[in-house]
Amino acid sequence: MPVSSVETASTTARVGRVPGGGHHTTLTTQHVTPVHGVRPLVVAARAENFHMREIPAAAIAGPGLQAWGVLVPAIAALCYALGRYLPVYGPGSGSRVVPVDLLSQPCSMAAVAAEKSKANKKQKGPKRPKVTVPPDLMARYGAVQLLNDVLLGKKPLEIAFEQRATGLDSRDRGFTFALTAATLRHLGLLDAVVEQCLNKPLSKSKKTQSLRNLLRIGAAQLLILDTPPHAAVDTSVRLAEAMQYEGMKKLVNAILRTIDRQKETLLAKCRDGPDGARVNVPDWLWDDWVRSYHADVAAAIAQAHAREAPLDITVKTDPAKWAEALGGVVLPTGTVRIADASAVTVTQLPGFEEGEWWVQDIAASLPVKLLGDLKGKKVADVCAAPGGKTLQLAAAGATVLAIDQAEKRLQRLRENLKRTGLEGSVAVVCSDAAEYKPPELFDMVLLDAPCSATGTIRRHPELPWTKSIDDVEYCEKLQAKLLAAVVKQVKVGGIIVYCTCSLQSGEGSKQVERALKELPLQRWKIKKEELEGLENVITSAGDVRSLPSHLDGQGGMDGFYIARLQRTK
C-alpha cells in the first residue's frame, strides 16, 4: 500500500506510519517532477511504530542523488529487522519484492529499474482471454462447467447446477442437467470409448480437464442421448474454439466422428470385455459390492444405476385416487410411481400445492412402515432433514420430535411441514443428536443415519466419482456414535429402527451386528407379511436390504438397509 502522500520533488517525501499498516516497513516508489532533466524515484517507507517525519526531496533527487547511498541503507537497516525483503511499489505497477541487499548499495536507478522489470516479469504471466461462448452453445458449456465442479470440486450435482444454471432459460436448464447427468451416469463407458479413439491418452492435468469433459459430453450426445450426429459434432468443435482449445478442434472433430461411425464396435469392446459390467463403477465401490453380494449381484446393481430413476410419491391417503390423478401406478406398499420423472415438473403436479403428497422413493418409505401402529406414540426422527420420514410419522398419528444439526436443511423440513399441514404434531430441534438429552424418553426412535448414500446413485450419478472409501469409514464411525446415543433416548422395551441409504455392508448389517454385541439391544425381526409384494428385500437375519435391481421390471428402487431393534435394559 502506498503511503498517504508523496509530493513533488520540489517539496518533500514523507516517511512514516500509515493508518492500518502492518508491523513491517514498505518501500514505495513513485514518479515525481523531473529535477535537472532526471525523473528519479521518490522513496518512502512506513512501519507500524514509525513516527512521521519529513525528508527533503533534494536528498533523493537531482544533485542530491548521492544522498541515496546514506538514506537508503538507514531505511534498509530498519526494514532488515522486520523482514529480509521489501515490497516495492513502482510507477504504473503493483507490488514487487526487492532484496534489502540491493537497496543497501549506493543508488543505481538502472539497477532498481532492472530489478523491477525482472520481478514484474515473474509476477505477470500472459493473461488468458475471457471465454466468450455463443448463446446456442451455453447449455453445453454449462454441462462442461458442471462436470468440472463435480469431478474437480467434488460438489453435489444438484447444488452445482443451481449455482451454474441461473442465467439459462428453462429449455437450456433442462438440457444442461440431462446432459451432465447422462455423462456422469455413463462416465466410465464414455471415457473408455474416447480412449479407444486416441493414439495416446489425454493428460489428466487440471489444464486439460475441460477438454476431457468437452469430449465426454460430445460422446454422451452420440451414444446416450441420440443427438443428431451433425449437431453433436459441430457444437463440440465450435465449443472447443470458444473455450480457447483452438489447436484441439481437429482432434475433437476426429474423435467424435470416429465414435459416430464406429459406435457399435466401440461400445461392444467396452461392454463385452472382461470389465464390461463394472465399466461405470470405481474399483473401491465394485470390490466392496462383490465382497458383500457376489459379482452377479454387483453387476445387476451397476446395470440398474445406468437407468434414470422414476418419480416416487408418498400420499397421505387413497393411493389409487392419486395414481389416477398423477398418471402413475400403485406399488405394493402404497407408493405411487410415475415412470418418466423427466417428463414432469413436481411443483406443477396436482395435489402438490395442497400438500396431499411428497416425493419419496419406495425404499425410503419402508422404515416408518416397520414401526407399526404410531397413533399416540412419541417418536424421535433423528437426522430428520429434509423430512420425508417426519411427514410419514406425523401423517400416521405420531407426536414427533425432528432432530437435525443442519439448520439450512431443517428450513426445508419446516417448509414441507407447512405445505402438508402437518406442523401441528411435529417439534423441530436443531441439535447434534449424539449430544441431545430429551426431557423424557421416547417410545420409538427412527435413526436415518448419515451415510455415503451409495444406494441413491440412480438419482445422484455423481456419487461414485465424488465419494471414496474414506467417506464410508467416516460415516461408519458417526453411525456407531449415533446408535449408542439413541439407545439412551428410548424407553426400555422401546423400538429403534436404524436405516441407511447405502449399499455398503459396513454401514448396514456389520454396523448392526456390532451394536447388538456392544449395546443393550436385540433384533426384532421383520416378517414377510409386513412387506407384501417386497418379500425378496427381507434378509435371512430378519432385516431389510433393498437393492437398485429389485423391482427391476417396474423401475427399480433405491438401495436401503433397515434393522428393527429393541432396547432390553
Rounded to whole angstroms, how far apart are CA atoms 206 and 209?
A: 5
- Classified as helix, coil or strand, 448 is strand
Largest CA distance in the chain: 104
Quick one: which H or E segment has residue 539? none
Q: Return the H-helix or E-strand segment holding 190.
A: helix 187-196
Is there a common fold for 135-273 and 362-567? no
d(CA 41, CA 28): 9
430 catalytic per annotation: no
Residues 464, 465, 471, 475: is their CA dihedral positive or negative? negative
The burial of 23, by beta-carbon neighbours within 10 Å (0-12 exposed, 13-18 middle, 19 or more buried), is given as exposed
* Residue stretches of the annotated binding site: 383-389, 404, 432, 448
Query: E strands along 214-368, which residues?
Result: 311-315, 329-330, 336-338, 357-359
Q: What is the pLDDT of residue 61?
A: 40
- For residue 175, give every residue at least 6 positions away whose Cβ sits within 8 Å of its Cβ, in sequence order, or none: 139
User: Rounded to whole angstroms, what are the CA distances from 231 to 189, 257, 568?
Assistant: 21, 11, 65
Per the CB < 8 A criterion, the answer to whether 397 and 374 are in contact is yes
CB 454 within 8 A of CB 285: yes
Domain 135-273: which CATH number of 1.20.90.10, 1.10.260.40, 1.10.940.10, 1.20.810.10: 1.10.940.10
Catalytic residue among 79, 107, 451, 501: 501
Closest CA to 461 of 107, 54, 157: 157
**Helix/strand/coil (H, E, C) string of 152-180?**
CCCCCHHHHHHHHHHHCCHHHHHHHHHHH
β-bridge mates for residue 486, sequence order:
none
* Domain parsing of the chain, residue ranges: 135-273, 362-567
Q: Any idea which fold 362-567 has?
A: Rossmann fold (3.40.50)
Which residues are part of a known binding site for S-adenosyl-L-methionine? 383-389, 404, 432, 448
Tens-level pLDDT at each residue, the chain (569 residues): 433 333 333 333 333 333 334 333 333 333 333 333 333 333 333 333 333 333 333 333 444 444 444 444 454 444 444 443 334 333 333 333 333 333 333 333 344 444 544 555 444 444 555 778 899 999 999 999 999 999 999 999 999 999 988 888 888 999 999 999 999 999 999 999 999 999 888 888 877 899 999 999 999 999 999 999 999 999 999 999 999 998 899 999 999 999 999 999 999 998 887 778 899 999 999 999 999 999 999 999 999 999 999 999 999 999 999 999 999 999 999 999 999 988 889 999 999 999 999 999 999 999 999 999 999 999 999 999 999 999 999 999 999 999 999 999 999 999 999 999 999 999 999 999 999 999 999 999 999 999 999 999 999 999 999 999 999 999 999 999 999 999 999 999 999 999 999 999 999 999 999 999 999 999 999 999 999 999 999 999 999 999 999 999 899 999 999 999 999 99
Which of these, 42, 274, 235, lies nearest to 135 by C-alpha position? Answer: 235
